[in-house]
Structure 1
Amino acid sequence: MGSQQGDVEASLSTIRRLTDTDFAALAWTDEKNQTVHWRHASGNRNDRFKRIVMRPNKGVAGSVIRSGRPLILKSFTPKSGDDPQDYSILLAENLKSAIIVPLTINERVKGVLLVGCRHLRTFDEQSIELVIDFAEQMGAMIQYSIDHAPT
């Protein structure tokens, strides 16, 4: 797993560089416990992301996992009455804009890839497509490592 972890974190650094974003992270579903955890990050200011645990139907990650469709946040500002748990990763990393896309393994949404900025930003179509394509490649990389793991 150590090698895969290094590959994932290097990939997150690459997508940050290619999209000129401040933060990139990968959340993964734990089907046994019915939870979603942020597993890997690049550009993080602290390790709070590691302690964020959500239900698969909650928060920005849960929304993307449930719908299987990307979510583009042009300007995130929490509002009075909002549940902070719905935006915990955005709050923990002080993100103002983000692209969150599904990560598919064996034709099922198993997690999400998030890239974000700590300033307001309108993402162009090229950046959005780049993140979507990157998530597909990461899903294929992870699927390959699962399929070829020693038993």
Structure 2
Amino acid sequence: MGQDYSTSLQSLINDSNSDFAALAFVDSRKRHIHWKHVSGSCSQRLKKMVGKPGIDLSGMVVRFGDVMIVDNSDANINEKRLEFPSMVAEGLYSAMASPIAIDGQISAVLVVGSRTERTYTQADICLIKKEAERFASMIKAKLNIVT
């Protein structure tokens, strides 16, 4: 199933005109976020990082339960992106992340990013939300969760 995630992440990179896509899983018992599947990575640092709710882009998504965007629409983009260690580790200038909910709980986070300046559109937001739902289905299938 890991190969399915990798293939899907690579397709998401192509479909979203991005440079990077990743899937981070939430360990609700320890309240940690672990990067498990990454495509387009330029560093091994990300997979070694452990996040927490409210910290980093994935942590903000877990905390607030909604899509988070860091892009050129923010006048302070250069300072803002430095607040997110995952963006710094991957050299990303723009990124968007969506929660992946399973049975009402955020179980994972889907992230796409670009190493160039970019402003995400409503179509981009719709795409990542749709892909997050698809990844939720893949995760449920792997875990044999029936809904």
Instruction: State whether TM-score is above 0.5.
Output: yes
Instruction: Report the aligned-residue RMSD.
Output: 1.6
Matched residue count: 141
Partner of 1:102: 99
Secondary structure of the corresponding residue to residue 91 of structure 1: helix
Cα separation, 2, equivalents of 1:139 and 1:128: 17
**Aligned-residue offset at 1:103:** 0.8
Partner of 1:88: 85
Runs (4 or more) in structure 1 with deviation over 6 Å come to none
* TM-score normalised by the chain length of structure 1: 0.87
Partner of 2:44: 47
- Cα deviation digits, residues 100-123 of structure 1 (max 9, x gap): 110111221112101000011011
- Say yes or no: does 1:15 pair with 2:12: yes
Cα separation, 2, equivalents of 1:23 and 1:15: 9
**Aligned-residue offset at 1:33:** 2.2
**Aligned-residue offset at 1:28:** 0.8
Secondary structure of the corresponding residue to residue 27 of structure 1: strand
Secondary structure of the corresponding residue to residue 122 of structure 1: coil
- Flag structure 1 segments of 5+ consecutive residues without an equivalent: none
* TM-score normalised by the chain length of structure 2: 0.89
**Aligned-residue offset at 1:78:** 3.1
- Say yes or no: does 1:26 pair with 2:23: yes
Partner of 2:79: 78
**Aligned-residue offset at 1:57:** 2.7
- Say yes or no: does 1:147 pair with 2:141: no
- Flag structure 2 segments of 5+ consecutive residues without an equivalent: none
Secondary structure of the corresponding residue to residue 84 of structure 2: helix
Paired residues of 1:25 and 1:41 also in contact (CA < 8 A):
yes
Paired residues of 1:106 and 1:143 also in contact (CA < 8 A):
no
**Aligned-residue offset at 1:126:** 1.1
